[in-house]
Each structure stands twice: as structure tokens, then as C-alpha cells.
Structure 1
């Protein structure tokens, strides 16, 4: 069942989203060659706590960290590691902030130092797809419009989409209805209505979009070793158009 949010509730989520966005900006300053994602995780958790919030992912279904840190061929749900990042790698940091019972979720892929042209192109394509999807998140449109917009970018830029991971509703819980797929046919699917709050979070890969899960039960990586990039925002659907909360 979809939990529609009032304007006041969306504003509460926006406050959580501001913490997410500010934390990501600080993380961007720290993700340099030699840094570790475990250090970034500890920083992010302390940042949230200092803001009066908490990391909603920590403890969720047993997940042990405040963030997911997915580098190179790890496309989602990677564990932060005490291993120095190397020049030329890319890493996605995904986090959910809970503030006064309301949540906001955002992932961002960062370049570690200088990366090659193909990684720049991959990241730009995934980010473009996110914003193309967001543009379709208006009351009266349908979920298929979002998926179609994302898929069109992947097709044009010739990247695979990891369909195993999708966007979702969010509010007092990390995952709510509806499911938001990153492929689809325009004009199909559930109608978007004012008060919905969803995440849009496409993962693009340079190779085939097939994945395996590591023995830890969380870390998802490509079967062919290709690298992936993901960008995610939490978005409110309103009669005046989509509002990015993160």
C-alpha cells in the first residue's frame, strides 16, 4: 500500500534530505586516493549523529554499516573497507538518513582522483538518466514514464542497466510501495499522484548487467567484472512537478 505524504510530512523528509545532501558534499571532499571507505563510513555516521539524525541503514536486516560503499565492479550494497582507494577508481556511496522518524535516501558515484574518459562518460550517463527520470515524476504521469526515460539514456549511450535493483517509495520506512523500475514503457504502470515520495536510482554498467552476491549476503558485483555507476535522489511527486528532497 502506498503511503501518501502531506506537505508537512514532505517538508520533514526534506529536512532529512538536506542532511544527506550536505553529508555527500563533505564526502566528495574526502574521497581521494589513499582514503578508505571505512573512514568515509565512520565520518558519515558521525556527521548524521551530530545533526541530530541517525543512519537508517545500520542494523537494517542486519546490515552492519551506516553507508554502502560500492567500488568499481561492485554495483550495490558494498561493505565499507579498510583498503586505500586507488587513483582512477570510482566508488558509490549510498546512505539513508532518518530524522525524527522520516527518511531520505541518496547515492552518488565519485571519481577517485583522475579517472579515464570511459568512466567519466559512464558517470555522466547515469547521472543524466537520473535527472531524465526525475523529470517524469510528475502527478498524472505513470511509473513506466520514469523507466522509459532512464532506459532511453542507457540505450543511446550503450550501457547496461542493472535491473535487479530498483527505486522504491520511502517515508517512515526505507522501503515502501511503489516499486520504481528503471526500464519501462511510456504511458504504462501505476499513475503517479501527489503525495508520493519515491527514489530513482539507476545503475549503469559498461558491460553486461548480470550480477552475483558475495558470501556476505549483501555485496553485489558484475559477473563480467565491468564497472558500474549509480546516482539516486529522493523525489516528492506534486501537482507542480517533482521536488528533489536530497
Structure 2
């Protein structure tokens, strides 16, 4: 059952979402060759708690850490460990925070130094597909319209769209209805209305869409061991239109990058 949110609830969710976005911004400055995943995880936990929030993933379904950290051929849900980043790696960092009883949830795939041009292209197109999906998250459309927009861009570029893992509703629980697949048919799925809040998150592979679930109960990798990337935003439908609760602004500020990709989705609480 979909739990539509009031404007007051969306404002509370915005606060949680912004904490997650700021956390990713802090981590951006730390990502470099030789840095361990567990070091980044500790930085994130400390920052989130300093904001008066709790790490959203820590202990959720018994997950052992603050961040899901998934380098290279890991798709999602990687457990932070002593792996040290290397030049040319990519790493998806998925972060959650809980404040005022509501969750924020966001992911970004970072490059470590210079990455192969084919991998960079996959990342760019995946992020492009995220915003194409967000544009379809408006009153009167269906969830399948979001899914179709993402799938069309990524598969036309020759990438594998993961089937087994999907986006989701968000609120007082980290995972609520509806599920938001990254593949689907126009006009299918639940009807979108004001108050819907979803995490839209394309998970896209350079090769096959097929994945492998590992025995640790969390780690998911591509079956062909080619790289995968993951981008995620929290989106609320306000007055019929999609508004971003999360932002990549803090990441771009840390990188010294200008972007206007979020301008049409700015939420003013």
C-alpha cells in the first residue's frame, strides 16, 4: 500500500535527505587511491550522528555498517572493509540517514582518479537516465513511465539493466511501496499522485544485466565481472511535479564541477 506524504512530512524528509547529500559531499573530498572503504564508512557515521541523525543502514536488516560501498563489478550492497581504492576504480556509495522518524537515501558512483573512457561513458549515461526517469515522476503518470524512460536510454546505449534490484517508496520505513524497477512498460504500475515519495535508482552494468548474489547475504556483483554503476535520488511529487529531496550539489562543489541538471527539480521547503 502506497503511503502518500503531506507537505509537512515531505519537509521532514527533505531534512533527512539533505543530511545524506551532505555526507556524500564530505566523502567526495576523501576519495583517492590508497583510502580504505572502512575509513570512509567511519567518516560517514560520525558526520551523520553530528547532524543529530542516525545512520539509516546500520542495523537495518542486520546490515553491519553505515554505507553500502560497491567498487567496480559490485552492483550494490557491498560491505565496507579494508579494501583500498586504486587509480581507475569506480565505487558506488549508497547512504541513508534517519531523522525525525523519516529516512533519506541516496547513491552516487565516484571515479577514483582517471577511469577508462568506456566506464565513464556508462556512468554519464546512467546519470542521464536517472534524470529522464525523474522527469516522468509526475501526477497522472505511472511508475512504468519512470521505468521505461530509464530502460530506453540505458539499453539503447548497450548496457545491462539489472532486474533483481529496484527503486522504492520511502518514508518512515526505508523501503515502502511502490517498487520502482529500472525496466518496464509505459502506462504500467501504480498511478502517480501528489505526496508520492520514491527513491529512483538505476543500477546499470557495462555488460550483461545478470547478477550474482554472494553468500554474505549482501554483496551483489555482475555475472561477467564487468563494472556496474548506481545513481539514486529521493523524489517527491509536489503540486503535480517531481521535486528533489536529495542533491548532488555538495558532491559537485567538492569536485569543482558546475551542473544545472537539477535546476528544474529544485524543492523549496
> What TM-score, normalized to structure 2?
0.90
Q: CA deviation at 1:156?
A: 2.0
Match of 1:227 in 2: 227
User: Aligned ranges for residues 121-200 of structure 1 at < 5 Å?
Assistant: 121-200=121-200
- Aligned equivalents of 1:204, 1:26: Cα separation in 2: 25
The reply on whether 1:82 has 2:91 as its aligned counterpart is no
Superposed CA offset, 1:30-58 (max 9, x none): 11111111111110110000000011111
Number of residue equivalences: 246
Q: Which residue of 1 aligns with 2:95?
A: 95
Q: Deviations over 1:88-122 (max 9, x none)?
A: 00000001110111111001000011111011101
Q: CA deviation at 1:215?
A: 1.7
Q: Cα distance, 1:183 vs. partner? A: 0.7
SS at structure 1 position matched to 2:225: coil
SS of residue matched to 2:93: strand
CA distance in 2, matches of 1:110, 1:219: 18
- 1:42 paired with 2:48, answer no
TM-superposed deviation, 1:239: 2.5
Q: Name stretches of at least 5 consecutive residues in structure 1 with no aligned partner.
A: none
Aligned-pair RMSD on alpha carbons? Answer: 0.8
Which stretches of structure 1, 4 residues or more, deviate above 3 A after TM superposition?
none
Aligned equivalents of 1:113, 1:212: Cα separation in 2? 27
Could you say which residue in structure 2 is the equivalent of 1:28?
28
Distance in 2, matches of 1:123 and 1:81, equals 24
Q: TM-score, normalised by structure 1?
A: 0.98
